[in-house]
Structure 1
Amino acid sequence: MITSPAAAIDLNADLGEGFGRWTLTDDEALLSVVTSANVACGFHAGDPSIMRRVCELAAARGVRIGAQVSYRDLAGFGRRAMDVPARELAAEVAYQIGALEVFARAAGSRVSYVKPHGALYNRTVHDAEQAGAVVAGVRLAAGEAGLPVLGLPGSLLLAAAAEAGLEAVPEAFADRAYTPAGTLVPRGTPGAVLHDPDAVVARAVRMAAQGEVTAADGSPVRVSARSLCLHGDTPGAAGLAVRVREALGAAGVRVEAFA
């Protein structure tokens, strides 16, 4: 995959990943740093109260609200492989987008894009049927106007989105290991998630400024990214996000929302 370095890049984070009294992400702190918020819509995490609160916080800070749609898997945090019929998956994607839209509009904002989560994200990299179902769900929820779809560069999801006339937005992950093919190393593999803050910051700058990352085998991989993901469930995520944003600015890369 060929790309050129970014003059500007969006910073997105997974937010609202709690349920009831259980919380995981430091939503308020992260919303002071990121430009786009991937809000859990209740299928892998999140509940109505959390969704409402995150939308209110995001709207107050001018952060774009995105629907982070997932397989229906609260117990497995949306990270377990599932086989869901395409028509059913499309309906579930639309359902999640619609639920978040209610709270976004009540906060004076709107849902600006859609990003799959976890197992669904990884499945739509190579599964045409599931990718098409996600896109069909976006169309079902958003109609002819559509919504941008955030995904891995070269994925079947982004290809399906573009074919359907939706804006396909490629993203990169500063804290995840890559294969030589440009896909993410599965989470169950040792070293799949990077925990060294200095390494994460350096990778973020290299991805944005040079369009490149080092794969797990040491080979260079070209990456195309209009958005850079920082996982909200990483320990110290808010502080790390601040460091990444400052480093990007120092490298001459503007941080601004894509949507």
Structure 2
Amino acid sequence: MGQFKIDINCDVGEGVGNEADIFPFISSCNIACGGHAGDQETMLKVAYLAKKHNLKVGSHPSYPDKANFGREVMDISDQNLIQSIRKQLADFDEVLKQEQISLHHIKAHGALYNQTAKDEELAKAYLDAIDDYKDRVLLYVPYNSVVAKLAKERGFKLWFEAFADRNYNSDLSLVSRKDENALIEDPEAVLRHILPIIKNSKVVAVNGESLIIKANTLCIHGDTVSALKILMYLSSALPKNQVEIQK
């Protein structure tokens, strides 16, 4: 048994098609539910696989923007965004009901995730959209973010999330994907990145500064080219470093 425990999650159902390969190595998943990717067929297929592997299942709502994969800030009214998120979650609920799966968590995707971390009005709209779920599911949010603060005030149960395959700026924001050093793709580099997060609640930013961060769950993006390679490496390397993956 490890001295430390951590959940490892992946964003899935996004068209990569590698879920059957990566699911044995993770403990929770965030399934795209039609905003940036996914449809009824992919939701059903991935949810079935997740159940088979005994994973904690979460919904992964986004800006309704498949053209940009939900990675660009969208000019949309609060009312339309709330309506879209509620439809995404309702569609996913139908899938979970069909497969007899309980919803474990909700995690926003892409630009919606990043913007709600710092934009109070957007965070309020997002929380309004998912308010009906607050008494029964966890909300995956970044540590020390605007959305985390507001969600806690409103009674949501939170898990703090950090990113295993992404570098951080000195304000705990993620390095933009437009920058060369945004991604961490080497498995050993990922391990060096996450051990201080797990053991010491610290992360080293790209400027070399050591920052306080807390994480109940670590994300490895399913569409990262080396995702499977990273996960396979961590499955053996983490126990050697007294870390147990929290199934």
Shorter-chain TM-score range: over 0.9
Look up the equivalent residue of 2:83 and give its one-letter code: A
| Secondary structure in 2 matching 1:102 | helix
Which runs of structure 2 are paired with 1:13-162 in the superposition (5 Å)? 13-18=10-15, 24-140=16-132, 142=133, 145-162=135-152
User: Among the aligned pairs, what percent are the same residue?
Assistant: 31
Which runs of structure 2 are paired with 1:90-239 in the superposition (5 Å)? 90-140=82-132, 142=133, 145-239=135-229
My pick for the range that moved more, 205-214 or 46-55, is: 205-214
Match in the other structure for 2:237: 247
Q: What is the distance in 1 between the residues matched to 2:100 and 2:60?
A: 19
Match in the other structure for 1:21: none
| Conservation of the 8 A alpha-carbon contact between 1:25 and 1:233 | no
| Secondary structure in 1 matching 2:122 | helix
- 2:8 alignment partner, one of 7, 11, 23: 11
| Secondary structure in 1 matching 2:104 | strand
Question: Alignment RMSD, CA only?
Answer: 1.5
Q: CA deviation at 1:154?
A: 0.9
Q: CA deviation at 1:236?
A: 2.7
Q: What is the distance in 1 between the residues matched to 2:62 and 2:44?
A: 18
Deviations 1:36-63 (A, max 9, x none): 1110011101111110011001111110
| Conservation of the 8 A alpha-carbon contact between 1:151 and 1:170 | yes
| Secondary structure in 2 matching 1:62 | coil
Look up the equivalent residue of 1:90 and give its one-letter code: I
Matched residue count: 245
| Conservation of the 8 A alpha-carbon contact between 2:185 and 2:230 | no
Q: CA deviation at 1:25?
A: 4.1
Q: What is the distance in 2 between the residues matched to 1:117 and 1:63?
A: 19
| Secondary structure in 2 matching 1:218 | coil
Look up the equivalent residue of 2:164 and give its one-letter code: A
Q: What is the distance in 2 between the residues matched to 1:211 and 1:248?
A: 16
Normalised by the length of structure 2, the TM-score is 0.94
Change in CA separation of 1:13 and 1:94 when aligned onto 2, cut-off 3 Å: same
| Conservation of the 8 A alpha-carbon contact between 2:29 and 2:50 | yes
Deviations 1:208-246 (A, max 9, x none): 122222111111122100000011001131221121232
Listed as ranges, the gaps of 5+ residues in structure 1 are 1-5, 19-23
Look up the equivalent residue of 2:148 and give its one-letter code: L
Normalised by the length of structure 1, the TM-score is 0.90
Q: What is the distance in 2 between the residues matched to 1:87 and 1:27?
A: 33
Look up the equivalent residue of 2:244 and give its one-letter code: R
My pick for the range that moved more, 172-181 or 201-210, is: 201-210
Which 4+ stretches in 1 moved above 6 angstroms?
none
